[in-house]
Amino acid sequence: MKNPQFAIVSWQEILEPIRAELELVEERFRSELVSSVPEVTAIGQYLQVSGGKRLRPSLLLLAAKLAGGAKPPAISLAAVVEMIHTATLVHDDVIDGADLRRGSPSTNSRWGNHTSVLAGDWLYMQTFRIALQERNFRVLDILIDLTQLMVEGELIQWGMLGRLDLTVEEHLDLVYRKTACLFEACTRLGAVLARQDAQTENRLAEYGRNLGMAFQLVDDLLDFTASEAVLGKPVGSDLREGKVTLPLIYLLARCTPDTYRKIASVVQNHRFQAMSWEDLLGFLWQYNIPEAVKQRAQLYSQNALKCLEGFPDSSSKRALFALPDFIINREH
């Protein structure tokens, strides 16, 4: 599926077709974070400045551009999906008790859990206020379904904490609910705004879903293999919180009974006592776990690329074609 015609390697090159639109999204995002409650405005501005790649709004804009979508609605909904993503990060950090997010103190560590949860709720409600202005029931259906899936994902994950018998299929379902469904909604919304037929809408949605699956699997792996300075939060956070992700599922299926017991102790006690972090990393490499996870992510990446077949060549198509490789090979 490689094609030199689509050789875009940097994030800045990927964003080039939508650079002007992204600036408008950033302005809209900033303006919609203002509340009559000072704490909500302060948290919103803090989150907006802390940035991120703006991957999700970029996906919506690129899909809309590929499908010929109208510009003003795409700007509004790109801001909406970034606000939804931001709200989920706020809630996730409260649930996980995280101290850092993107290398800076998390909102809950600065403002406390109570204020952070309510600020996240406010962000969610603000997204639907903006979306309602589009007077498009299809858009609202997509956003409501998305929000329900993500909340269900959080509840399912809570029930999975510490489970050493977690299957690959169970984890992949969680990955879809927690991460990939938002990617899917972004690209689906792009097609909806362009008034595309159901077949085109589903193809773009499938692209987003596969990209999101690949993204999260790489994220699972980076929690083990990246450095804290690059990742922007402590490595091994998932493991210490009792989250069993794909690298650990693969390792538990391949390691010796003695190693299994040691890993189980870390997961159940939320600390490295029976074995060291360095020992765990050694086992990951010994059993070739990083390569196995990347291979699974590559399958999703290839499926995403297939969804672009048939679309005419354009700068937005080249950007979407470059995204899977960028995501597979990212370091944070």
**264-274 burial: b if 16+ Cβ within 10 Å, else e:** eebbeeeebee
232, two tokens: 């922007």
Q: List Cα–Cα distances, 121 to 68, 80, 109, 328, in angstroms.
A: 33, 14, 17, 32
> Residue 5: what pLDDT?
47
Pick the CATH number of 4-328 from 1.10.3720.10, 1.10.600.10, 3.40.50.1820, 1.10.8.50: 1.10.600.10
CB 308 within 8 A of CB 317: yes
The C-alpha atoms of residue 264 and residue 279 are separated, in whole angstroms, by 14
> Residue 229: what pLDDT?
67
Domain boundaries, the chain: 4-328
Run means of pLDDT, 10 residues per run, the chain, 332 residues = 53 92 94 89 84 90 89 93 92 83 83 91 93 92 96 93 95 97 98 94 98 97 83 77 94 96 90 89 96 97 97 95 94 74
Q: Give me the phi and psi of 160, to 5 degrees please.
A: -95, -10
> Residue 222: what pLDDT?
94
Q: Burial, 17: exposed, middle or buried (Cβ in 10 Å; 0-12, 13-18, 19+)?
A: buried
Residues 6+ apart with CB under 8 A from 106: 93, 98, 99, 100, 116
Residues 6+ apart with CB under 8 A from 326: 9, 11, 14
The DSSP result for 289-315, as a single string, is HHHHHHHHHHHHHHHHHHTTTTSPP-H
Nearest to residue 182, comparing CAs of 124, 134, 241? 124
